[in-house]
Amino acid sequence: MVTEEFILIPGRTSRQGVGISEGKFESSYQEEIQSLQMAPSDMQRLDLKKGDRVRLTSEDGQIEVCIIPARTDELPAGLLFIAYGDLSSRLMGGDTHGTGMPTSKGIDVQLEVLKSA
Amino acid sequence: MIESSENSSSEEIKIIKDATCTFCGCVCDDIDLKVQGHKILEAKRACVLGNGWFLNHGVDTRPDCFIEGRPAPVEEGIERAAQILSRARYPLIYGLSDTTTEAQRVAVAIADWIGGNIDTTTSVCHGPSGMAFQGVGEVTCSLGEVRNRGDMIIFWGSNPAESHPRHFTKYSLMPKGMFLPNGRKDRTCVIVDVRKTKSARAADIFIQIKPRKDFEALWTLRALAQGIDLDPVEVEEETGNPLSLWQDLMDRMKAAKFGVIFFGMGLTMTRGKHANSEALLALTRDMNRYTRFVCKPNRGHGNVTGADNVVSWRTGYPFGVNLARGYPRFNPGEYTAADVLARGEADAAMIIASDPMANFSQPARQHLASIPYVALDPKDTPTARSAAVTFTVATYGINVPGTVYRMDDVPIPLRPAFESSHPSDLEILQGIERRVRELNRQMIRADS
């Protein structure tokens, strides 16, 4: 199985914010936090299409998510984005390097393509 | 202010003027709510997040209290919560950024009575900036000053179009201010980020830097502010942008009359953390040799700034405070919740308006799941579901009056829309505080 190195940026989205108010167990919120945005050029290179599943592995955890294309120029090649939530936090480590804040953005991950949608 | 009118349905429609939205740190206090019974029908002037907030907090039919997942009277829940906290050797109180200032005060008092550890969601938000404030200081101002004076607005590692949707229109870019009669035309907007976010569309200048290179980019600007010669090859290699671009930005910053840097968690959550925030605060300080420059963290939750203020009033420190020795000790990394849990130190906890079971690291979640804890939340969350005692509470700002602090430390009153059948955080915490004090007295009598 081919794996590639990426840098993951978890962050806020409006849909994730609205989802918190609607309820964290509702489908809208769950769908948002389980969607991984990738640069269209990376998707083309890896022969991925919207909805394909991938596995992300960091030094501290592993998650499985669906791919969606980022808006045309939002992400440069090699960078991934996911809305904050349960899944993104599973990739963080417990060590905060003396700050109280785990490294929650700019996480090194290995991406492994699982299967087509 | 409340206006009422009748409509065809049985319940009267009332209009709450100038209600306060507590979803994000902008704390917009100009929302007109159309309310019918226990439902908000419309939130005029609210953004997408504000609409989501107001329109999704109706009547919740869940019981007020659960003990071990079973419905229970509130009084029993308070008794159980007080027992859990009083018997613990290292209790943790955490959360607090989505509740009123009045409730936050009581939470700190409980931490003091039980000799516990108190921390807020600031520690996993702008906690590193809080550390940097102590090291460098903060040249700051109110959002009103930004609105009326700010002619150069920089957003660094922040995406307000998604996280604070009215930031541009209410405070930072669009308003016509006292010294900016043409509004947006009188301002220059610069956005610095690793992604070309939705906010970048609003920028006059967008600078895309390499991931994890904020520190290098900020120190490049610090050097340029001082007139220090830099190696163009090294600058481009480190920041992903040519030296000429940074020089142009510095020239514009020096030429501004009133510059403002809003910064977000793109700085604090990335490698470097407090060192990134320190670099930005120091750059802001440096710029005041040439012109007026200020900076502000864009704060996320509705009253996270209130949590910083209240914990500071009561203990002298803004977050991550330990009261086990009878006096406050502050040490991020030691007394912050993510660490106290991940290291397996806390043996009980009370989580107020926060969801660490969904947002903390796996070791921290696993430890929290293994200890008895109390949760207060208006919504059903992973944290509320796994608690030994869960209180379903009324929503601040929608059901509960009180005070919150806007991201620029300005206190704002809440104007609730309708009453809830659930108790408020404040009522629950006051009950727990009373019972904890009684238990303390009993333990002292037993010891003597």
Whether B1 has a pLDDT exceeding 60, the answer reads no
Smallest Cβ distance to A18: which of B48, B124, B380?
Answer: B48
Whether B2 has a pLDDT exceeding 70, the answer reads no
- Best residue of B117, B168, B273, B392 to probe chain A, by most A CBs closer than 10 Å: B273
Smallest Cβ distance to B123: which of A92, A100, A105?
Answer: A100
In this structure, the answer to whether residues B103 and B151 fall within a common structural domain is: no
- For B124, counting Cβ atoms within 10 Å of its Cβ (0-12 exposed, 13-18 middle, 19+ buried), the class is buried
Partner-chain contact A96 B339, CB within 8 Å: yes
In single-letter form, the type of residue at position B88 comes to A
> Which domains, ranges and CATH numbers included, belong to chain A?
3-96+103-115 (2.40.40.20)
Q: Which tokens in the block code for residue B419? A: 């009453």
In single-letter form, the type of residue at position B339 comes to D
Q: What is the dihedral of CA B100, B101, B103, B106, to 10 degrees?
A: 170
Q: Which tokens in the block code for residue B338? A: 């993510």
Query: Which domain, by its residues, includes B116?
Result: 65-125+302-410+420-447
Strands of the B91-95 sheet, one edge to the other = B70-71, B65-67, B389-392, B373-377, B348-352, B91-95, B117-120, B321-322, B329-330
Q: Which of B271, B297, B323 is the last residue of a domain?
A: B297
In the prediction, which pLDDT does B59 show? 76
The answer to the question of residue B157 being in a domain is yes
CATH of the domain at B292: 3.40.228.10
CATH of the domain at B334: 3.40.50.740
In this structure, the answer to whether residues B264 and B346 fall within a common structural domain is: no
The answer to the question of residue B316 being in a domain is yes
Confidence of residue B446 (pLDDT cuts 50, 70, 90): confident
The answer to the question of residue B60 being in a domain is no
B268-295, pLDDT tens digit by residue? 999 999 999 999 999 999 999 999 999 9
Question: How far is B240 from B262, CA to CA, in rounded Å?
Answer: 21
DSSP state of B46: -
ipTM metric: 0.95
Q: Which tokens in the block code for residue A8? A: 């993951």
Bridge partners for B95 per DSSP: B120, B352
In this structure, the answer to whether residues B41 and B85 fall within a common structural domain is: no
Question: How far is B26 from B433, CA to CA, in rounded Å?
Answer: 31
In this structure, the answer to whether residues B136 and B275 fall within a common structural domain is: yes
In the prediction, which pLDDT does B190 show? 98
In this structure, the answer to whether residues B340 and B283 fall within a common structural domain is: no
Closest alpha carbon to B76 in B88, B63, B87, B93 = B63
Domain count, chain B: 3
The answer to the question of residue B436 being in a domain is yes
In the prediction, which pLDDT does B58 show? 82
The answer to the question of residue B347 being in a domain is yes
The answer to the question of residue B162 being in a domain is yes
Q: Which helix (H) or strand (E) holds B294?
A: strand B292-297
In the prediction, which pLDDT does A2 show? 74
In this structure, the answer to whether residues B343 and B227 fall within a common structural domain is: no
Whether A69 has a pLDDT exceeding 60, the answer reads yes
In this structure, the answer to whether residues B121 and B133 fall within a common structural domain is: no
B350-369, pLDDT tens digit by residue? 999 999 999 999 999 999 99
Confidence of residue B438 (pLDDT cuts 50, 70, 90): very high
The answer to the question of residue B71 being in a domain is yes
In this structure, the answer to whether residues B173 and B247 fall within a common structural domain is: yes
The answer to the question of residue B415 being in a domain is no
Local structure of B291: helix, strand or coil: coil
Question: How far is A96 from B35, CA to CA, in rounded Å?
Answer: 44
Q: Which of B297, B328, B362 is the last residue of a domain?
A: B297
Residue in chain B nearest A104 by alpha carbon: B269
Average pLDDT, chain B: 96
8 Å CB contact between B256 and B293: yes
The full DSSP string for B295-326 is: EEE---BTTHHHHHHHHHHHHSSSS-EE-TTS
B187-238, pLDDT tens digit by residue? 999 999 999 999 999 999 999 999 999 999 999 999 999 999 999 999 999 9
In this structure, the answer to whether residues B334 and B261 fall within a common structural domain is: no
Q: Which of B297, B317, B341 is the last residue of a domain?
A: B297
Partner-chain contact A106 B336, CB within 8 Å: no
Three-class DSSP labels, chain A: CCEEEEEEEEECCHHHHHHHHHCCCCHHHHHHHCEEEECHHHHHHCCCCCCCEEEEECCCCEEEEEEEECCCCCCCCCEEEEECCHHHHCCCCCCCCCCCCCCCCCEEEEEEEEECC
Q: Which tokens in the block code for residue B155? A: 């957003």
In this structure, the answer to whether residues B91 and B47 fall within a common structural domain is: no
In this structure, the answer to whether residues B249 and B338 fall within a common structural domain is: no
Residue in chain A nearest B119 by alpha carbon: A100
Whether B7 has a pLDDT exceeding 60, the answer reads no
